[in-house]
């Protein structure tokens, strides 16, 4: 690792963050430009001790940036990467700069950083652009987790806690980068006949998670016995672990496939299945609407003709969809509901400005097979259809209602017990609950696991958090014999849960189990 003063503050923490059989060398000088780090600490060390350069190199430079000549910075980045690759390094990682926000630093630190903090986002833009020029380059996105207090003793230089967070993030990225599945990979996963899924099951309920992506991209899950459809289940960005649930029809070979547009680790968890007599009518994954091609959704309802999607039967009562929202300039709310009735009591989805979010839904449709979509702020919406349920299916979509709210910052390790059976809108014995889970005011990275309370905590997750970034996901989770669902949160923050439906005998629920993890098999 070669660094200016910021990364040097994590020198001891870097060695501690890696496994004991790793050799970690940290070198650098404060207040140097990147080309000076290159000449003094890369070329200079190579001339005297070239064996110190291993398979992986981290560069932590850019706070000293020639803002009057951005091209000079690009040239120095290119020269640094090229030199390290020439020295035999297989992977080069560059740490992004903290984009300083006033509310997270002291008044004195804010005053001190004024002359130069303004160009930190520009530096990060140049580093992201460099990914297209250098296939060996990845980013350690410190900026994505550094918008919180308590990390530095001024505005950018690390205190002890910040050094540990900086080093742990770096180690996680480096240790899992060579396990990423590359752009265009199609992963086949056997689902029929495993973990209690019947051999003749029609579809499975899954949770997909992207980890350590090199750049932005998406996952598409679909039956393996046909061409890849033009739909998506999960959209991801660098610097965050993102999860999205899905109902995926099973191919004739008993497998589902996951295509990925972008380099990333893929994690797949199974929560249950829909059997041959469930009332599920699988639909070849089909895009019903994409407002990027028409007009954004706003307060006036946009009608989506789900009943017109090929394969959706005439006697449908509800449709399984993936809702993708692309936030505009401001935060807001979005609702999806049958056009012949009122909207939900709580929003279907909170819109986050500029962010792409995914939500699994089983939505009721009106007699014409339509749903209406409204938004408080102009928002692009994509609805992809994966299946439909007949009128007799024991599947019961609901308008979103608040089931649980921690009411404040719940500590890490909290287990929240949610009573599903016995509610006024749950008239039978639930095998599973369809939930929309949202984590807000998260104070650190972590995750949420949903599970039937009686089964105990599984080794799975359904939502991942990053400090001060709101995250949400939908899930279908088994209820235990008492009709209860539990949520475990490994982060301090607020958790809210909305009930969007429940299932009876149509859904064969299981305690969540991990099906695939490229970090262990890649």
Write out pLDDT tens, residues 9-38: 999 999 999 999 999 999 999 999 999 999
Q: pLDDT-based confidence at 240, cuts 50/70/90? A: confident
CA 390 to chain centre: 32
Distances (CA, A) of 182 to 178, 223, 235, 269, 511: 10, 20, 16, 20, 31
Q: Average of pLDDT values for 322-338?
A: 95
Q: pLDDT-based confidence at 498, cuts 50/70/90? A: very high
Domains in the chain: ranges and CATH: 2-177 (3.40.50.1110), 395-505 (2.60.120)
* Residue 180: predicted pLDDT: 95
Query: Helix or strand or coil: residue 172?
Result: helix
User: How many whole angstroms separate alpha carbon 241 and alpha carbon 265?
Assistant: 10
Query: Helix or strand or coil: residue 119?
Result: helix
Buried b (16+ CB within 10 A) or exposed e, 266-296: bbbbbbbbbbeebbbbbbbbbbbbbbeeeee
Residue 217 pLDDT exceeds 80 = yes
Q: pLDDT-based confidence at 467, cuts 50/70/90? A: confident
Average pLDDT, the chain: 95
Residue 293 makes CB contacts below 8 A (sequence gap 6+) with none
Q: Average of pLDDT values for 316-344?
A: 95
Q: pLDDT-based confidence at 63, cuts 50/70/90? A: very high
Distances (CA, A) of 81 to 130, 215, 361: 10, 18, 44
Q: Average of pLDDT values for 172-180?
A: 94
Burial of 64: CB neighbours in 10 Å, binned 0-12, 13-18, 19+: middle
* Residue 443: predicted pLDDT: 86
Count other C-beta atoms under 10 Å from residue 360's C-beta: 26
Write out pLDDT tens, residues 95-140: 999 999 999 999 999 999 999 999 999 999 999 999 999 999 999 9
Nearest by Cα to 447 from 436, 463, 460: 463
367: part of which helix (H) or strand (E)? Answer: none
């Amino acid at each position: 690792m070669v660094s200016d003063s910021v990364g040097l503050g994590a020198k001891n923490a870097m060695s501690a963050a890696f496994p004991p059989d790793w050799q970690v060398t940290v070198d650098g000088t404060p207040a140097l430009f990147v080309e000076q780090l290159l000449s003094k600490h890369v070329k200079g060390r190579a001339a005297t001790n070239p064996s110190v350069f291993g398979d992986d190199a981290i560069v932590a430079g850019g706070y000293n940036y020639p803002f009057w000549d951005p091209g000079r910075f690009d040239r120095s980045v290119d020269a640094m990467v090229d030199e390290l690759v020439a020295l035999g390094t297989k992977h080069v990682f560059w740490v992004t700069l903290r984009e300083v926000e006033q509310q997270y630093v002291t008044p004195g630190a804010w005053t001190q950083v004024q002359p130069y903090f303004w160009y930190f986002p520009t530096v990060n833009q140049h580093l992201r652009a460099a990914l297209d020029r250098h296939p060996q380059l990845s980013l350690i996105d410190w900026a994505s987790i550094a918008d919180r207090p308590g990390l530095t003793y001024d505005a950018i230089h690390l205190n002890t806690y910040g050094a540990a967070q900086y080093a742990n993030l770096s180690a996680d990225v480096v240790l899992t980068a060579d396990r990423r599945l590359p752009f265009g990979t199609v992963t086949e996963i056997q689902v029929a006949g495993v973990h209690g899924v019947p051999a003749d099951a029609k579809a499975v309920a899954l949770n997909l998670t992207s980890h350590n992506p090199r750049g932005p991209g998406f996952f598409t899950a679909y039956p393996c016995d046909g061409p890849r459809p033009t739909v998506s289940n999960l959209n991801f960005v660098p610097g965050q672990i993102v999860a999205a649930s899905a109902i995926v029809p099973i191919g004739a070979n008993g497998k589902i496939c996951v295509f990925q547009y972008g380099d990333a680790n893929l994690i797949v968890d199974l929560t249950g299945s829909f059997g041959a007599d469930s009332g599920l009518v699988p639909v070849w994954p089909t895009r019903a609407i994409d407002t990027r091609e028409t007009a954004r959704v706003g307060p006036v309802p946009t009608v989506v003709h789900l009943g017109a999607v090929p394969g959706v039967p005439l006697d449908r009562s509800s449709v399984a969809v993936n809702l993708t929202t692309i936030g505009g300039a401001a935060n807001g709310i979005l609702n999806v509901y049958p056009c012949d009735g009122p909207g939900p009591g709580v929003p279907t989805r909170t819109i986050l400005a500029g962010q792409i979010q995914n939500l699994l839904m089983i939505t009721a449709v009106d007699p014409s097979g339509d749903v209406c979509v409204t938004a408080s702020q102009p928002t692009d919406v994509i609805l992809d259809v994966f299946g439909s349920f007949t009128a007799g299916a024991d599947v019961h979509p609901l308008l979103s209602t608040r089931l649980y709210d921690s009411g404040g910052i719940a500590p890490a390790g909290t287990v929240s017990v949610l009573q599903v059976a016995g509610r006024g809108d749950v008239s039978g014995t639930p095998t599973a609950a369809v939930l929309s889970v949202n984590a807000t005011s998260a104070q650190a990275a972590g995750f949420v696991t949903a599970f039937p309370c009686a089964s105990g905590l599984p080794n799975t997750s359904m939502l991942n958090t990053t400090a001060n970034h709101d995250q949400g996901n939908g899930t279908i989770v088994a209820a235990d014999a008492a009709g209860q669902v539990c949520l475990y949160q490994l982060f301090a923050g607020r958790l809210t849960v909305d009930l969007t439906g429940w299932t009876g005998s149509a859904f064969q629920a299981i305690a969540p189990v991990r099906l695939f993890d490229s970090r262990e098999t890649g």
